[in-house]
């Protein structure tokens, strides 16, 4: 892609004088299987999508940072002394958080920068536009200021910015997938060792995203609650298994034998994590056999565990999953990402088309008086510089 052709370059030229010197793209992601396993030292598989965030940057001569978005907002900040913002300008916490983390890692910023940001990711669709924003920023700033790291390093920068500056205690899934994505491949992460691998998507398998458009007012606090409950479950289990450093090191047999000693709620939270790790392994085995029916069964089981054990589903997502499961061309469906609203992902064969999607949307709308947003996407490339 030529710099001049991309949208963020055009936005840049409208707002700033001169040309951007660098431009970078980073994708959103689908969480394929492995729900809330990442911050529990577990296994997860995701896919980068072809939609994402593009950023164009140039150096300024003063000590200012100017950031403009395609929503029309322009925010001006001083270089250094970075503090998270609240209110309408809080979207800049993503690039500023990344700038701060990279500076702490040794990136030298003698002068500030201009940045233009455009997105092809549907807002609030549960496809992690935040990780895409962080990774695109990190790639662009690294090129701008001559900072070097490897792909895992970029993923960690994004996560650190999210954890420490944005204040969301997420794991490495979103940033890892946005960094390591590869067209027509899944990304598998072992979060205990932070090792990343890719494996080909099975032939003829398609992703459809159904965004319920249901917003949960307390998504961030609900996520933090689950994070805390998982650590409480681990602390109770460590009475029996002191060697376990995270929930993902507990086996299904161990969990069952300690069930009576655990609070009922904490047992269900742990059962979700332990079960998800087993399902990631089952999906990996099924993929190697090209057994998409078995993959689909694991996706459906994951959603059921979210609904019953982890309670991070909501009625609207359950409806979408039930409607999708009735379609013979759907292998499986599950909520994707943190939950508490957001989107469902369906793995389908090539015969699932817009007509089926529209039927599901109509039935959903009749039940919930909400119009879902639907789109068909495929696994795309990870964060990269554009030239
Ligand atoms: C969000 C977080 C991820 C992960 C998922 C749930 O997307 O950002 O780190 O925990 O939820 O699997």
Q: What pLDDT digit, counting tens, does each position of 26-78 carry?
A: 999 999 999 999 999 999 999 999 999 999 999 999 999 999 999 878 999 99
Instruction: Report the C-alpha gap between 277 and 272 in whole angstroms.
Output: 9
Q: Measured from the CB, is residue 337 less than 6 Å from ligand 1?
A: yes
CA of 293 to the centre of ligand 1 (A): 25
Is pLDDT above 70 for 3? Answer: no
- Protein residue with least CA distance to atom 7, ligand 1: 337
d(CA 161, CA 150): 17
Cβ–ligand 1 distance for 316 under 6 Å, the answer: no
Say yes or no: CB of residue 230 within 6 Å of ligand 1: no
For tokens 């999953």, the residue is 321
> Are 32 and 287 spatial neighbours (Cβ–Cβ below 8 Å)?
no
Tens-place pLDDT, residues 156-192: 999 999 999 999 999 999 999 999 999 999 999 999 9
- 232 φ, ψ to 5°? -70, -40
Name all domains of the chain by residue range, CATH numbers in brackets.
Answer: 2-200+381-385 (3.30.230.10), 206-377 (3.30.70.890)
CA distance 184 to 85: 37
260 CA distance to ligand 1 middle (Å) = 29
Percent over 90 (pLDDT), the chain: 93
pTM for this model (two decimals):
0.96
Tell whether the torsion through CA atoms of 324, 326, 327 and 333 is positive or negative.
positive
What's the gap in Å between 227 CA and the centre of ligand 1?
Answer: 10
Average pLDDT estimate for 124-129: 86
Q: What is the dihedral of CA 339, 152, 379, 298, to 10 degrees?
A: -50
CA distance 100 to 80: 8
Q: Among the atoms of ligand 1, which is closest to the Cα of residue 172?
A: 9
Q: What digits encode the pLDDT tens for the residues 261-288?
A: 999 999 999 999 999 999 999 999 999 9
Catalytic residue among 5, 89, 150, 174: 174
174 catalytically annotated: yes
Contacts of 212 (CB under 8 A, 6+ apart): 314, 316, 317, 320, 341, 342, 343, 344, 364, 368, 370, 372
For residues 348-366, average pLDDT: 98
* Burial environment of residue 85 by CB neighbours within 10 A (0 to 12, 13 to 18, 19 or more): middle
CB 269 within 8 A of CB 229: yes
Q: Is the CB of 171 under 6 A from ligand 1?
A: yes
The string of DSSP letters for 363-382 reads: HHHHHHS-PPEEEEE-B---
């Amino acid at each position: 892609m030529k710099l001049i052709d991309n949208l963020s370059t055009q936005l840049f030229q409208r707002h700033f004088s001169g040309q951007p010197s660098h431009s970078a793209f980073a994708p959103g992601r689908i969480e394929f299987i492995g729900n809330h396993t990442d911050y529990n030292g577990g296994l997860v598989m995701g896919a980068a999508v072809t939609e994402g965030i593009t950023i164009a940057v140039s150096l300024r001569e003063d000590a200012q940072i100017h950031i403009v978005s395609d929503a029309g907002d322009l925010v001006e900040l001083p270089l250094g002394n970075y503090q998270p913002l609240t209110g309408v300008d809080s979207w800049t916490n993503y690039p500023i958080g990344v700038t701060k983390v990279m500076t702490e890692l040794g990136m030298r910023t003698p002068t500030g920068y201009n940045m233009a940001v455009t997105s092809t990711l549907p807002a609030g669709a549960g496809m992690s536009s935040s990780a895409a924003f962080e990774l695109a920023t990190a790639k662009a700033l690294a090129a701008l200021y001559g900072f070097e790291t490897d792909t895992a390093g970029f993923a960690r920068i994004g996560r650190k910015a999210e954890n420490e500056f944005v204040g969301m205690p997420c794991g490495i899934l979103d940033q890892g997938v946005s960094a390591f994505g590869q067209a027509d491949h899944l990304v598998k992460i072992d979060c205990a060792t932070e090792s990343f691998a890719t494996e080909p998507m099975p032939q003829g398998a398609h992703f459809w995203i159904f965004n319920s458009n249901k917003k949960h007012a307390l998504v961030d606090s609900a996520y933090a609650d689950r994070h805390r409950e998982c650590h409480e479950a681990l602390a109770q289990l460590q009475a029996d298994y002191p060697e376990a450093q995270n929930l993902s090191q507990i086996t299904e047999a161990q969990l069952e034998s300690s069930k009576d000693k655990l609070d009922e709620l904490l047992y269900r939270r742990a059962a979700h994590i332990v079960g998800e790790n087993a399902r990631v392994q089952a999906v990996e085995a099924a993929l190697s056999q090209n057994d998409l029916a078995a993959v689909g069964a694991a996706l459906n089981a994951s959603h059921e565990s979210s609904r019953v054990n982890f309670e991070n589903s909501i009625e609207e997502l359950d409806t979408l999953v039930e409607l999708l499961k009735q379609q013979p061309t759907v292998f499986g469906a599950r909520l994707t990402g943190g939950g508490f609203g957001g989107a469902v992902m369906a793995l389908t064969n090539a015969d699932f088309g817009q007509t089926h999607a529209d039927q599901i949307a109509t039935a959903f709308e009749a039940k919930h008086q909400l119009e879902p947003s639907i789109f068909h996407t495929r696994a795309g490339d990870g964060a990269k510089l554009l030239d």
